[in-house]
Amino acid sequence: MKLAKDYNSVMGRSAEIMKASLGLDFNDFESGSVAFDYEGLMTATGYTIEEIDKIQSRTGVGHTPLLELRNITALARKYAKPGYGARILVKDEAANASGSFKDRRAACAVAHAKKLGYKGVIAATSGNYGAAVASQAAMQGMKCIIVQECYDSKGVGQPEIVEKARKCEALGAEVIQLTVGPELFYEHLSVMEDSGYFNASLYSPFGIAGVETLGYEIAMDCRERFGKDPAMVVCTQAGGGMVTGTARGLIKAGAENTEVVAASIDLTGLHMASDVQFNKKSCTTGHTGFGVPHATNPDTGDVPRSAARPLRYMDRYVTTTQGEVMYMTEMLANLEGLERGPAGNTALAAAFSLAQELPEDEILVVTETEYTGAGKHIQPQLDFARENGIEIFFGNPDQDEPGKNIVLPENPGVFKVKELSLDKMRKSLIKRSVPRAAGKLTAEDIAFLVVDTRSDEAFVKAALDELGVEY
């Protein structure tokens, strides 16, 4: 019998579609309420970190260089108080097969799909992950479909996103390009159902387990070269996989005292699904439009329960601006000879300021660089911004107004991160979790929320009291 393909019918079959496309039944980990067995879900991949390392090594992924940014460190020290300015290092993830840390996620997911006998893989992404999945699929002799949110209703695509589509196609993938809006998840489910391909989701346990090797390598590299763990690791925060996987890898390496800082570009006021505002942003990932919703409401992606749960692991969440990231992209090229970006340079822009908080004998590691390409360079982005009525000038980042201007720092001394309230986000996560409960929350639910928010029982109960929720 032919299945109905209207929006409501496909969305109504989402659970069975995702079950068939992952070879994993998320119901096995559910409690029927707010809580679920997160560690059980992660263990269900069936791979140890050593086995994932072997999988990645077979396809040119992992063991990337850890580069010391000596000139940028020296510049940061000029603006720090005497004796301060940690050594800034960056994991050069552009050395991976398709040019970003997303290869770590894709290698694990695609290898597992191959093992289970799927003929192809599919992923919903407008970013580097599409290229990573396409690259790994090509190596494994599998078909690949990428569903990409690319255009506004006038058919105008953001240069960075169009560049990523070009790379996916160059690596042999079929790319389905959509306009911004709610149809991305529907189209992904529909094509997944029709093709029978494996869901190489960014948020599956296979993808997150793949990132754990990054955190593990950072700890081991620092111990080998410097005899100690990094004081701080800075991760670009978008969907939460980088923070989650890196932190879990650090923990597995025993680096439990390393501070994990999440960093996003502040695009407050621009709505992710707004047709009018879609092309008003000049950095398309690693911004608060992704970072905050995925931190406070992780279970809204293309799997029933997300393995990316960044609030469990981040010690701080800071923001930077589009102008600071663009300035840092040029600084990295001019001072260190590394043409990279832009997403990885979000964390680096934050790190330039954060390093000045630490003594100069400490180590700060930025978790990633990424490849660059025609649409990802600074000039195409700035040209596109001008075409969309965005004012561009040199000044203080405090003047930044997302969707109205891009303020390039007048000098490196004005770089400054802004702190987001983790407690506010924790309360938001608790509020968004409550509807899953059938009636009052159980003791198991509360214990789960304590871990999911990295807080304590008193905090969770106080938040529930504010909401008037029974437990």
Query: Is the pLDDT assigned to residue 126 strictly greater than 80?
Result: no
396 and 297 in one domain?
yes
Pair 61, 99: CB distance under 8 Å: no
Domain membership flag for residue 159: yes
> How far is C-alpha 460 from the geometric centre of its chain's CA atoms?
26
Share of the chain above pLDDT 90, in %: 82
Domain membership flag for residue 153: yes
Query: Is the pLDDT assigned to residue 467 strictly greater than 90?
Result: yes
- Percent of the chain that is helix, strand, coil (3-state, to 5): 50, 15, 35
Query: Is the pLDDT assigned to residue 186 strictly greater than 90?
Result: no
261 and 178 in one domain?
no
436 and 376 in one domain?
no
Band of pLDDT at residue 197, cut at 50, 70 and 90: very high
251 and 138 in one domain?
no
Band of pLDDT at residue 190, cut at 50, 70 and 90: very high
233 and 198 in one domain?
no
pLDDT for 183 equals 80
219 and 306 in one domain?
yes
Domain membership flag for residue 2: no
122 and 87 in one domain?
no
Domain membership flag for residue 180: yes
Q: Any idea what the Cα angle at residue 292 is, between residues 357 and 231, rounded to 5°?
A: 25
Please give the tally of structural domains in the chain. Answer: 3
Domain membership flag for residue 1: no
Residue the block writes with tokens 């932190």: 247
Q: What are the start-end ranges of the H helices in 259-402?
A: 288-296, 322-336, 344-354, 378-387
Domain membership flag for residue 332: yes
* Closest to 92 in 3D by CA, of 416, 321, 372: 372
Strand 391-395 vs strand 363-366: parallel, antiparallel, or unpaired? unpaired
- Indicate the pTM of the whole model: 0.96
Structural domain boundaries enclosing 327: 56-99+206-419
Q: Looking at residues 254-276, what average pLDDT do you find?
A: 93
pLDDT for 342 equals 85
Which of 218-227, 280-289, 422-431 has the lowest average pLDDT?
Answer: 280-289
Query: Is the pLDDT assigned to residue 416 strictly greater than 70?
Result: yes
Q: Is 10 left (phi over 0), alpha (psi -120 to 50) or beta?
A: alpha
184 and 132 in one domain?
yes
Q: Looking at residues 258-270, what average pLDDT do you find?
A: 96
169 and 115 in one domain?
yes
Band of pLDDT at residue 6, cut at 50, 70 and 90: confident
Q: Please report, as a single letter, which amino acid is at residue 243.
A: V
Q: What is the tens place of the pLDDT at every residue in 62-120?
A: 999 999 999 999 999 999 999 999 999 999 999 999 999 999 999 999 999 999 999 99
Q: pLDDT averaged over the chain?
A: 94
pLDDT for 1 equals 58
Q: What is the tens place of the pLDDT at every residue in 328-378?
A: 999 999 999 999 988 889 999 999 999 999 999 999 999 999 999 888 999
Q: Looking at residues 227-239, what average pLDDT do you find?
A: 97
Q: Can you tell me the distance from the alpha carbon of 129 to that of 126, in angstroms, rounded to the nearest whole number?
A: 8
CATH of the domain at 228: 3.40.50.1100
Query: Is the pLDDT assigned to residue 181 strictly greater than 80?
Result: no
pLDDT for 256 equals 94
Interacting residues of 39 by C-beta distance below 8 A, sequence separation 6+: none
Query: Is the pLDDT assigned to residue 22 strictly greater than 80?
Result: yes
Q: At which of 184, 203, 222 does a domain end?
A: 203
pLDDT for 313 equals 98
Q: Can you tell me the distance from the alpha carbon of 370 to that of 453, in angstroms, rounded to the nearest whole number?
A: 30
SS3 at position 287? strand
DSSP string, 72-124: HHHHHHHHSPTTB-PEEEEE-GGGSTTSSTHHHHHHHHHHHHHHHT-SEEEEE
Q: At which of 379, 403, 419 does a domain end?
A: 419
Q: Can you tell me the distance from the alpha carbon of 92 to that of 203, in angstroms, rounded to the nearest whole number?
A: 23
Q: At which of 170, 203, 236 does a domain end?
A: 203
Please provide the size of the chain in residues: 471
Structural tokens at position 191? 């094509």
62 and 163 in one domain?
no
Q: Looking at residues 201-205, what average pLDDT do you find?
A: 93
Q: Can you tell me the distance from the alpha carbon of 404 to that of 295, in angstroms, rounded to the nearest whole number?
A: 26
Q: Looking at residues 408-429, what average pLDDT do you find?
A: 98
Q: Looking at residues 138-158, what average pLDDT do you find?
A: 93
302 and 269 in one domain?
yes
373 and 248 in one domain?
yes
